[in-house]
Chain A
Amino acid sequence: DTGVSQDPRHKITKRGQNVTFRCDPISEHNRLYWYRQTLGQGPEFLTYFQNEAQLEKSRLLSDRFSAERPKGSFSTLEIQRTEQGDSAMYLCASTAGAGVTDTQYFGPGTRLTVL
């Protein structure tokens, strides 16, 4: 069990550029969540997958954001035409089951800075 991994850990980009982040969940975890954490705040839910199906998207996820989990394993989060307001830590979490008490295991996050 190697834990949830995220790549890259840090990304600096210029406004208007596209960026893509990757999350590798714990092996055989079927649920995967994306959260965004801005400075001084707790994480906020963005979207989640049950296997390869994206089942819910937050209103925070504008049309510039897209997430995929093509084979039910790793997931990618893409932001198009980045804006300075997108600067945040993007966290990924996975759970083994689909119950309310299943623990969400978090990755170390990808810190995005948009200049």
Chain B
Amino acid sequence: AQSVTQLGSHVSVSEGALVLLRCNYSSSVPPYLFWYVQYPNQGLQLLLKYTSAATLVKGINGFEAEFKKSETSFHLTKPSAHMSDAAEYFCAVSDSPGGDYKLSFGAGTTVTVRA
């Protein structure tokens, strides 16, 4: 089965600083990768997804991620953090041996933004 590992359960950044969230995947086949964000007491919202087209994927709210096959990574970045970016972020891979396309999630990274 495919899986993802998120490095760092908590990240603290200053407002205006770079946000970098790390995700590595393990897969024997080309993966489909996703980043979701979860705000307190809300469901998960898709930020962006990699579907084997461009390796640099742009998402909502100024986030982007780069797929690097050689490093088996799909790190999420945002050049300038905003207070509203404080949330929990999940990397996920689509695990679909039978076409079910269920998502396998990492443990998540909580982002706090300091004023």
Contact = CB atoms under 8 A, between A and B. Distances in A.
Interface residues of B, number: 26
B102 interface: yes
Interface in A38-86: 40-45, 48, 55-56
Contacts of B42: 108
A102 B42 CA distance: 21
Secondary structure type dominating chain A contacts: loop
Nearest to A34: B102
Interface in B50-71: 51
A108 B41 contact: yes
B43 A109 contact: yes
Interface residues of A, number: 27
A41 B107 contact: yes
Contact of B105 (A42, A48, A109): A42
Contacts of A33: 102-103
A45 B95 CA distance: 10
Contacts of A93: 43-44
B43 A56 contact: no
A101 B108 CA distance: 21
Contacts of A56: 98, 100, 102
A39 to B, nearest CB: 11
Nearest to B110: A40
Interface of A: 4, 33, 35, 40-45, 48, 55-56, 91, 93, 95, 98-109
Interface of B: 9, 32, 36, 41-46, 49, 51, 90, 92, 94, 96, 98-108
